[in-house]
Amino acid sequence: MNTRTLGNSGLEVSSIGLGCMGMSFSYGPAKDVREMIALLHAAVERGVTFFDTAEIYGPFINEELVGEALAPFRDRVVIATKFGFDVSANFDPRGMKGPPGVNSRPEHIKQAVEGSLKRLKVDVIDLLYQHRVDPAVPIEDVAGAVKELIEQGKVKHLGLSEAGAQTIRRAHAVQPVAALQSEYSLWTRKPEREIVPTLEELGIGFVPYSPLGKGFLTGKMDGSTTFEGGDFRSSLPRFTPEALEANQSLVSLLDGIAREKQATTAQIALAWLLARKPWIVPIPGTTKLHRLEENIGADDIMLTPDDLRDIDTAASAIEVQGERYPEKLEKMTGL
């Protein structure tokens, strides 16, 4: 697989990474650990070097999974994790009616990092994201705390997730930000307004999560799709039967191009992101080997300027139906 560098950070990763959240969290029950370890090994064998996790995924068990699986390949991979939610050992996401509170107090960050280091079985975290901006803690204090951890050799690079342009600038002034992780795909294009130009100006990489629209852009969903218990998509406005049906025109657009390129709709969705900027690295998640191989295959698809223009022209005429998150969750983004 080809590699890319996240902005000016010097952090080189595979062109397509692997989001590991769904192996343990949010998309139904946690998957079999042995099967997921085998999948992570298969990803490394196929050239994936960039793996994404977080302490809240589980919580904690996803970091443990990634740490165990990737321990034999530590010198070949880049592991990114996140802090920023108020999780504890007795935290039970199944009993929650909403997300936990955010917590980016410097002392909490340092505590979270110690836990992540142990669970990931590493001496240093390659890329440490603030998972969500904490409005109660100045971002300068957050960046300063991570800067201290970098100086102590416990972290290599600072990242932010779902942060707004001004927050990114303020953090970057204290400690260079290597990457921003936010949702970005053909059906979530809001980052193009302010975020992408800001990242380009500052030399910061962009790591789109949900680059396949939480599965929608694979073309495998329609108005009759149902979700099993524990799948958080059942609570998202964009995944109601009405929205799934209304948004099929976007999938049809991808499908037409996929037929021309002898590819899949998912591969075209990923290739579109790769073609946007050379410092964009999507991290599609999967729990299936054939999907992993399909996603990796997007790295071999070249979209021409004409292709991109045709996609943008057609997509601009499609109004995506449904908000991506309920109001409470949406308020936690773009601060």
Catalytic residue among 27, 57, 129, 184: 57
291-309 as b/e, with b when 16 or more CB fall inside 10 Å?
bbebbbbbbebebeeebee
Phi, psi values for residue 52, rounded to 5°: -120, 130
CA distances from 147 to 115, 172, 181 (A): 18, 11, 19
Radius of gyration of the chain, Cα coordinates, nearest whole angstrom: 19
DSSP annotation string for 217-285? GGT---TT----TTBGGGG-GGGSHHHHHHTHHHHHHHHHHHHHHT--HHHHHHHHHHHH-TTB----B
How far apart CA 124 and CA 131 sit, in angstroms, is 18
The overall longest dimension of the chain from CA atoms, in Å, is 54
Known active-site residue 57: yes
Kindly provide the b/e burial profile for residues 226-265, where b requires at least 16 CB atoms within 10 angstroms of the residue's own CB. ebeeebbbeebebbeeebbebbbebbebbeebbeeeebbb
Active site residues: 57
